[in-house]
């Protein structure tokens, strides 16, 4: 079995496509069971955020696993696999682990260093646990990723650049309407993102009103920020009163139409309005952006600014560092409140930690991979000893119980001593490149009859020699 990560994100796909593949909780549950019910996927976890939809899966065949995950993502997007494939990224084994750790740390987010994705990963893992789609392979990977995310934020300075999407978006809003102290703000949606928006607005001194499909949820959130509530059925009046509107409902269709905002603007006496749409799929009709006096901040805008910031960072890196890795300069916020440079040392420290933790998990996974071989070898030896002791008892029926017991202990000690060195060594060697090959050798030498698996460094070896990872399995072309 091998770890596979397949998905699309803001790095590879436009926001319009991310909207198509966005998943509700019910969608995620359906996808999880569809995945583990397929031929090549045994465990699965789905991470769906406003920046990405990615599947982390334990698979028995590389191409089979990629095909099955891609089919699920394509179905969700209402497209075929061929249409989706240019936007899909695939990571395998160590690369998949490193990618998951990078995501958990906020280093792969639209705003580098943001912390919300760690909570989203925790929720994705909890859902997979509830649905029974994670097992002994994905459990340690997910748990390790959560620990790595915490370590990166606590042990590096990445949090200094870790503005989340709400923070960056409200910076944009303030550029248009001015400081938020004492200004009315409307939050549409009372989920986790809505709560984050309401809290951030309150900390900036805004007077927060909350509207939600659940009046109870709206009331709880409003009470937490000393704010008020509004009815979704009366959004026109609520928008007319607000200077900033932040919406993030998780609805499958538009929540705020152009006609509603246009009607609200007639009652504003020319006051500008900032509308922040952090939902995926979007809550706000695209036509709202064309209304006079309305400034819309959405994921497409932030994605475009991040791309521009990355390009600028690459140019700066080429000039200042002679072409060193520009990734160390990306992310964070500039003085204008858009994604910009962060401290290279902080990002470098985060990547170094991720590299070390990836190596540690690799060693743990490889040790776990040889455990069945060691167990099978010791079980086989015990069966042989038991059979020979029974044969001895039949041949020497007059042997007294004390002598019989001493002979049994002696034989078992001999077998244990003979097996000690090879079993200890195979566990030690499992953490080295090609280490699982030693377990393969034990299986072959002792005829253990276990199904062989691809060595943990198989994908790297396959890439080096130009063959398919599946071909490294017994019976493969290699």
Binding residues for substrate: 49-52, 109, 114-116, 120
Helix (H, G, I), strand (E, B) or coil at 134: coil
- Domain 180-295: which topology? Rossmann fold (3.40.50)
Helix axes 116-130 and 94-104, enclosed angle (nearest 10): 120
Collect contacts of 124-131 with beta carbons under 8 A, ≥24 apart.
Answer: 124/28, 124/45, 124/46, 124/47, 124/48, 125/45, 127/25, 127/28, 127/29, 127/32, 127/46, 128/32, 128/44, 128/45, 128/46, 131/29, 131/32, 131/33
* Nearest CA-CA partner of 2 in 472, 352, 424, 477: 472
241 φ, ψ (degrees, to nearest 5):
-80, -25
| Spatial distance between the Cα atoms of 433 and 430, rounded to a whole number of angstroms | 8
Q: And the tokens for 378?
A: 């010791």
pLDDT in tens, 400-424: 888 889 999 999 899 888 888 877 7
Query: Within 10 Å of residue 332's Cβ, how many Cβ atoms?
Result: 24
Q: Could you say which of 4, 46, 48, 50 is catalytic?
A: 50
209 φ, ψ (degrees, to nearest 5):
-120, 140
pLDDT in tens, 19-73: 889 898 999 999 999 999 999 999 999 999 888 999 999 999 999 999 999 999 9
Q: Is 50 one of the annotated active-site residues of the chain?
A: yes
Question: Residue ranges of the chain with pLDDT lower than 50?
Answer: 311-342, 451-478
pLDDT in tens, 314-324: 444 444 344 33
- Judge if pTM exceeds 0.85: no
| Domains in the chain: boundaries | 2-161, 180-295, 365-472
| Spatial distance between the Cα atoms of 352 and 433, rounded to a whole number of angstroms | 20
Query: Within 10 Å of residue 223's Cβ, how many Cβ atoms?
Result: 12
Dihedral sign from CA coordinates of 20, 22, 27, 33: positive
Burial of 213 (0-12, 13-18, 19+ CB in 10 A): middle
| Spatial distance between the Cα atoms of 108 and 339, rounded to a whole number of angstroms | 13
- The answer as to CATH 3.50.50.60 being correct for domain 2-161 is no
Q: And the tokens for 236?
A: 């026109």
| Spatial distance between the Cα atoms of 393 and 386, rounded to a whole number of angstroms | 11
pLDDT given at position 167:
87
Contact present, 417 and 351 (Cβ < 8 Å): no
pLDDT given at position 420:
85
């Amino acid at each position: 079995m091998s770890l596979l990560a397949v998905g699309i994100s803001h790095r590879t796909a436009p926001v319009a496509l991310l909207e198509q593949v966005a998943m509700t909780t019910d969608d995620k549950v359906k996808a999880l069971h569809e995945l583990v019910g397929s031929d090549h996927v045994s465990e699965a976890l789905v991470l769906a955020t406003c920046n990405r939809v990615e599947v982390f899966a334990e698979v028995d065949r590389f191409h089979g696993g990629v095909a099955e995950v891609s089919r699920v993502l394509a179905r969700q997007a209402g497209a075929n696999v061929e249409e989706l494939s240019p936007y899909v990224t695939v990571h395998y084994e160590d690369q998949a682990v490193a990618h998951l750790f990078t995501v958990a740390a906020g280093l792969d987010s639209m705003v580098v260093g943001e912390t919300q994705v760690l909570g989203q990963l925790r929720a994705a893992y909890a859902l997979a646990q509830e649905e029974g789609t994670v097992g002994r392979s994905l459990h340690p990977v997910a748990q390790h990723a959560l620990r790595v995310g915490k370590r990166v934020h606590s042990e590096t300075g990445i949090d200094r650049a870790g503005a989340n999407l709400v923070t960056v978006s409200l910076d944009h809003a303030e550029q248009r309407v001015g400081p938020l102290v004492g200004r009315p703000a409307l939050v549409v949606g009372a989920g986790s993102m809505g709560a984050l928006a309401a809290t951030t607005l309150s900390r900036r001194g805004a007077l927060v009103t909350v509207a939600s499909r659940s009046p109870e949820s709206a009331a709880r959130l409003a009470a937490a920020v000393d704010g008020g509530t509004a009815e979704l059925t009366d959004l026109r009046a609520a928008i007319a009163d607000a200077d900033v509107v932040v919406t993030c409902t998780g609805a499958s269709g538009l929540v705020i139409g152009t006609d509603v905002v246009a009607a609200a603007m007639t009652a504003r006496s020319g006051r500008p309005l900032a509308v922040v749409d952090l939902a995926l799929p979007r809550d706000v009709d695209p036509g709202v952006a064309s209304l006079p006096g309305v400034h819309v901040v959405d994921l497409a805008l932030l994605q475009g600014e991040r791309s521009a910031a990355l390009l600028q960072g690459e140019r700066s890196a080429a000039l200042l560092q002679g072409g060193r890795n520009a990734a160390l300069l990306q992310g964070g916020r500039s003085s204008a409140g858009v994604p910009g440079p962060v401290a290279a040392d902080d990002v470098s420290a985060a990547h170094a930690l991720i590299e070390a933790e990836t190596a540690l998990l690799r060693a743990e996974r490889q040790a776990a991979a040889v455990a069945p071989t060691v167990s099978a070898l010791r079980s086989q030896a015990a069966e042989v000893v038991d059979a020979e002791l029974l044969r001895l008892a039949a041949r020497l029926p007059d042997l007294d119980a004390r002598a019989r017991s001493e002979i049994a202990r002696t034989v078992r000690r001999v077998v244990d001593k003979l097996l000690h060195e090879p079993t200890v060594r195979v566990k030690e060697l499992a953490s080295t490149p090609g280490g699982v090959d030693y377990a393969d050798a034990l299986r072959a030498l002792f005829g253990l009859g276990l199904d062989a698996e691809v060595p943990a460094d198989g994908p790297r070896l396959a890439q080096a020699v130009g063959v398919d990872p599946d071909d490294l399995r017994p019976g493969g072309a290699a």
